[in-house]
A and B are shown apart, each in its own frame.
Chain A
């Protein structure tokens, strides 16, 4: 599903050049649930941004579902993001003047889907995350866990190939974190490929594979026995 080879990325800050990724080789099969761990500054967010086509690598190749991702202009990047990827952020990033339903419908809006069809589909995904009754609430009327679930529904709405979650539980308490992870595991069980960036051990162990990053290199990549979040709730 995802294959990256010898990925390099450096940032220039004033006169200093910061080499963040120093040759990453990494691949993910369809249906995997992978966590990327590392201390801050290890390059895990940069890696996720490159995977999410929000940033471009300096060198190396990136293939997503057989499509080489390179030399993207903004227009194509936008289309690929819409088609291939679903994003889940630490701070939810819902649009705060739109209802939960409209938020979930956003990716579909950018696919050019008609309003009625979009609403039906968005409603189905809200039901899936258990928030059908909150469809017409504004984000500021929802709890943190609910917001993240709306965000997950939104990420799923365009039926992407891969879900990219950047610290999805970073802003949530433990109990809510586990609920969100339970949801993510459930989605993975249905066959969706998911990448989770986290620095929390317990969250990482709820995935099926942990990739450890340090100073821009993968130092460890092991498959683990998944801990079901349900057992903690």
Chain B
């Protein structure tokens, strides 16, 4: 079927009226081009937004305490409670599906008063009491020294890991800082390391203005006792924190005598749910891209079908001659179908190439001009291209089907009648 002869026939047939062929092909080219560009733009947006999540363990949630809203076991509503380290231990013990349960405490906040002093420099920074595994949940690059470790936790060492932003604010350029002391709310902590955060959304400056100290030292230094301000909980791979979190809440509710249906007592931010929502948004966006792209492609396909109908009409006599010379209906049909698929495929490939070229140029420009908010590396992957090719082949067959049926309906005797 795909001998040189068949190809010759196809090339001959299509090149006889090349201008018309080219115009027809343009319809399909345009359709697939739009499809590729839309998908790439969607992907670029997706890449850009997901980059903002950075390397954060997205299967995580943060939970804090709120006011209890239902009376229970003789206790009134409106009371407040706080987590303690026993809660953390209980959660860890009863839920092996969780990867990390990090208790956290915090001092200061956005726009707070100056709380950190070093020599004549002061600054307002967020100070966190944390466990060493927190670096797995919120990845950061240690640029010098080290992060917290369990030795620090157990010995309640007053050590601090400071952000690059903090270092810039408190130290002069080139000044030694490892081993020096900073004063946090009047308590001296020794700097043991610095970190940097990579994020694309412009918040990295803010995120680098934070100080991490051992949780235990924090509790002792700032009179927290056993209290835990909030927790960052990450589920193991294969589990979804969104499904596990109610079980976590139940443990807390039991331990603190909270009504089982009191959903307002525990506040939480489910990163995974947010991530899923964003993910869903991009699936919807992709669907829209396919929908629009395929509709545009469809008009191209109809163009091809139309032209093939005209071609069959024009070649009625020729088809009749071929039939008289012994062409089987199948060979006529396959010729029309192959022509149609060939035309669709060639123009589709041209469209994909053009799309790829545009994406390439776009990426070059993006690279040259630095990162753009919410948009990064627009691209289509191989599977998308394969899907596009599949769409092309099947639509080529579809486009050729009616003309091919028309072609074999031509009776040789009618085609050969001299009129």
Asked if A192 CB lies within 8 Å of chain B CBs, one says no
Q: How long is the Cα–Cα vector from A74 to B326 in the complex, in angstroms?
A: 10
Interface contact A55-B413, CB-CB below 8 Å? yes
Distance from A94 Cβ to chain B, minimum over Cβ atoms (Å): 8
CA distance A40 to B4 in the complex (A): 45
The verdict on A93 contacting B326 (CB below 8 Å), with A54-B416, A74-B408 known, is no
B11 CB to closest chain A CB, in angstroms?
11
Write the B200-218 contact mask toward A (1 if CB under 8 angstroms, else 0). 0000000000000000000
Shortest beta-carbon distance, A219 to chain B, in Å? 25
A90 within 8 A of B: yes
The 8 A CB mask of B389-419 against A (1 = contact, 0 = none) is 0000000000000000000100111001010
A74 to B170, CA, bound (A): 93
Question: Does A111 sit within 8 A of B, measured CB to CB?
Answer: yes
How far is A128 from B12 in the complex, measured between Cα atoms in Å? 28
**Chain B residue nearest to A107 in the complex (CB):** B325
A87 contacts partner chain B, Cβ-Cβ < 8 Å: yes
Interface membership of B331, Cβ < 8 A: yes
Contact of B412 among A54, A94, A98 (CB under 8 A): A54
- Given A74-B408, A109-B5, check contact A95 B326 (CB 8 Å): no
Q: A75 and B328 in contact (CB under 8 A), knowing A54-B416, A55-B413, A91-B418? A: yes
The residue that A97 contacts in the complex, of B16, B328, B416, B418, with Cβ under 8 A, is: B16
Asked if A49 is at the interface of the complex by the 8 Å CB criterion, the answer is yes
Cβ of A100 < 8 Å from any Cβ of B? no
- Contact present for B418 and A54 (CB under 8 Å): no
Q: Which of A95, A109, A154, A158 contacts B318 (CB 8 A)?
A: A95
- Given A74-B408, A81-B324, A115-B4: A93 in contact with B416 (beta carbons within 8 A): yes
User: How many chain A residues touch the partner (CB < 8 A)?
Assistant: 28
Whether A95 contacts B324 in the complex (CB less than 8 A), given A115-B4, A115-B5, comes out as no
**CB distance B322 to A93 under 8 Å?**
no
Contact residues, B55-82 vs A (CB, 8 A): none
- Interfacial residues of chain B within 110-141, with CB under 8 A of chain A in the complex: none
Known: A90-B418, A93-B321. A107 touches B326 (CB 8 A): yes
Q: Are A81 and B326 closer than 8 Å at their CB atoms?
A: yes
Asked whether A82 lies within 8 Å of B325 as measured between CB atoms, the reply is yes
Interface presence of A52 (CB below 8 A): yes
Interface check B329, CB cutoff 8 A: yes
Q: Interface 1/0s, chain A 50-91, versus B by CB < 8 A? A: 001011000000000000000000110011011100010111
Of A49, A74, A110, A115, the contact of B325 (CB 8 Å cutoff): A110
Residue of B nearest to A89 (CB): B416
Of B3, B321, B326, B331, the residue contacting A158 (CB under 8 A) is: B326
Task: Tell me which of B318, B325, B329 contacts A87 (CB under 8 A).
Answer: B325
Inter-chain contact B331/A110, CB cutoff 8 Å: yes
A94 to B321, CA, bound (A): 8
Taking CB atoms, residues of chain B closer than 8 Å to A89 are 416, 418
If A49-B413, A54-B413, A109-B5 touch, does A95 touch B321 (CB 8 Å cutoff)? yes
Determine if B89 is an interface residue (Cβ-Cβ < 8 Å).
no
Among A74, A83, A89, A106, max chain B CB count under 10 A is at A74
CB distance A154 to B328 under 8 Å?
A: no
Residues of A within 8 A of B412 (CB): 54
Contact with A along B328-351 (1 / 0, CB 8 A): 111100000000000000000000
Residues of B within 8 A of A78 (CB): 323, 326-329
Pick the residue among A79, A83, A95, A107 that contacts B328 (CB under 8 A). Answer: A79
In the complex, what's the smallest C-beta–C-beta distance from B9 to chain A, in angstroms? 9
In the complex, what residues of A have CB within 8 A of residue B323's CB? 78, 81
Chain A contacts for B3, CB-based, 8 A = 115
B158: Cβ under 8 A from any A Cβ: no
In contact, A75 and B329 (Cβ under 8 angstroms)? yes
Instruction: Return chain A residues, CB-CB under 8 Å to B12.
Output: 97-98
In the assembled complex, which residues on chain A have CB atoms less than 8 Å from the CB atom of B317?
93
List B contacts of A107 (CB < 8 A). Answer: 325-326
Residues of A within 8 A of B330 (CB): 75
* B327 closest partner in A (C-beta): A110
* Chain B: minimal CB distance from A83 (Å): 8
Which residues of A come within 8 Å of B, CB atoms?
Answer: 49, 52, 54-55, 74-75, 78-79, 81-83, 87, 89-91, 93-95, 97-98, 106-107, 109-111, 115, 154, 158
Known contacts A49-B413, A55-B413, then 18 further A-B pairs from the complex at CB < 8 Å, ordered by chain A residue: A78-B326, A78-B328, A81-B324, A81-B325, A81-B326, A82-B325, A87-B324, A90-B418, A93-B317, A95-B321, A95-B322, A110-B327, A111-B326, A115-B3, A115-B5, A154-B325, A158-B325, A158-B326
11 A-B pairs (CB sep. < 8 Å): A49-B413, A54-B413, A74-B329, A75-B328, A78-B323, A81-B324, A93-B321, A95-B322, A107-B326, A110-B328, A110-B331
Closest 9 CB pairs of A and B: A82-B326, A110-B326, A54-B413, A78-B328, A74-B329, A107-B325, A93-B321, A54-B412, A106-B325
